[in-house]
Amino acid sequence: MRAVGVTEYGGPGALQIVEVPETHAGPGEVRIRVHAAAVNPTDTYVRNGARAAAQADSGPPWIPGMDVAGVVDEVGDNVDTGVAVGDAVMGIVVPAGAHGGYRESIVLPARSVAPAPAGSSHAEASTLPMNGLTARLSLDLLALPSGSTLAVTGAAGAYGGYVVELAKADGLTVIADASDADRELVRGLGADIVVPRGDDVADHIRSHVPDGVDGLADGAVQNELVIPAVSDGGAFTSVRGYKGEAQRDIAFTTTWVTAYAEEQEKLAALGRLVEDGKVTLRVAEVYPSERAADAHARLEAGGTRGRCVIDLS
């Protein structure tokens, strides 16, 4: 069957259509006929060789993709999550070798798959699993009680936008950063206060909350630049492996979404929030599989609002 991947690491142009063997659902697994796969920054690391060491045990092709949506076409034994053949679903993928989301069919643990939000297209549903679960994990790590104040950097991005919306659903007050062009977008996501993005964002946050915020989710990966915005004894979480040095009794955590890769109940709950109008699915553009390189190039050019999606139907 067809997939999109690389046989040699490189730029967006290294992506090509490749043939991979068909796989079947085993015990505790489901197979999805993939219709859409979202394009995320982590996918570029699979493509360009930044994660070559982690992929050393598998030969080419290397297939990126952590988000899929489509229709279940096989259910293995001992699956108790309620999914059935013919269901429209979304799933999170932990890529390894040829096991990545950019393929026409993929077998996943049943607990990595949940119903797609009712009324959503496959492209829309594919934008939720990885980024939505990452945002959910960040908020769970911060563990802020309702009424607390949360700061979010990178709020206009996919992860940051989900953090803002989920935080509002959790009863938090949200201060988020944005460029001038994105201020209305971020306000529309529910941020209570929008401050200018940039290296001095911590000062802008402190101008509104002089004692510092209770927690901060660093989607912009500004790391030590934004720690001053957090109150003494507050909480800070970041993506991409950063963990701050001990200071002021701040609780530092790193958000690794693989910890939630089989949290089916949490993924299903995200879908229900979409149906309730509390979480917004944002698609920048849909590309046919033959133009996957264009999707990667657009992502790497920066400024994309919503996710580019590869159509594998």
At 138-197, the pLDDT tens digits run 999 999 999 999 999 999 999 999 999 999 999 999 999 999 999 999 999 999 999 999
The number of C-alpha atoms within 13 Å of 103 and in the hemisphere containing its C-beta is 28
- DSSP 8-state symbol, 278: S
Q: How many Å apart are CA 175 and CA 309, to the nearest integer?
A: 29
pLDDT given for residue 57 in this prediction = 78
pLDDT given for residue 262 in this prediction = 98
Q: How many Å apart are CA 108 and CA 29, to the nearest integer?
A: 6
Q: How many Å apart are CA 92 and CA 153, to the nearest integer?
A: 24
On the question of a cis peptide bond just before residue 288, with omega within 30 degrees of 0, the verdict is: no
Return residue ranges of the chain for CATH 3.90.180.10.
Answer: 2-128+281-311
35 and 130 Cβ atoms separated by less than 8 Å:
no
pLDDT given for residue 46 in this prediction = 95
β-pair type (113-115, 283-288): unpaired
At 111-133, the pLDDT tens digits run 999 999 999 999 999 999 999 99
Residue 89 predicted with pLDDT over 90: yes
Architecture of the 131-258 domain: 3-Layer(aba) Sandwich (3.40)
Mean of pLDDT values over 94-103? 96
CB atoms within 10 A of CB 192: 16
Return residue ranges of the chain for CATH 3.40.50.720.
Answer: 131-258
What is the chain's length? 313
For the chain, state the CA radius of gyration.
19
- DSSP 8-state symbol, 175: E
Q: How many Å apart are CA 221 and CA 218, to the nearest integer?
A: 5
The closest of 28, 33, 22 to 68, measured between CA atoms, is: 33
Class of domain 2-128+281-311: alpha beta
CA distances in angstroms from 25 to 83, 118, 146, 196, listed in the order given: 13, 25, 41, 48
pLDDT given for residue 240 in this prediction = 85
pLDDT given for residue 51 in this prediction = 81
Residue 242 predicted with pLDDT over 90: no
At 197-224, the pLDDT tens digits run 999 999 999 999 999 999 999 999 999 9
Average pLDDT, the chain: 96
What is the band of 290 on the pLDDT scale with cuts at 50, 70, 90? very high
What is the band of 244 on the pLDDT scale with cuts at 50, 70, 90? confident
The percentage of the chain sitting over the pLDDT mark of 70, rounded to a whole number, equals: 100
Q: What residues have CB less than 8 Å from 43, skipping those under 6 apart?
A: 64, 65, 66, 100, 102, 296
pLDDT given for residue 55 in this prediction = 78
Q: How many Å apart are CA 135 and CA 163, to the nearest integer?
A: 5
Q: How many Å apart are CA 105 and CA 118, to the nearest integer?
A: 22
What is the band of 50 on the pLDDT scale with cuts at 50, 70, 90? confident
The percentage of the chain sitting over the pLDDT mark of 90, rounded to a whole number, equals: 94
∠ CA(53), CA(59), CA(63), 5° rounding? 85
Residue 311 predicted with pLDDT over 80: yes
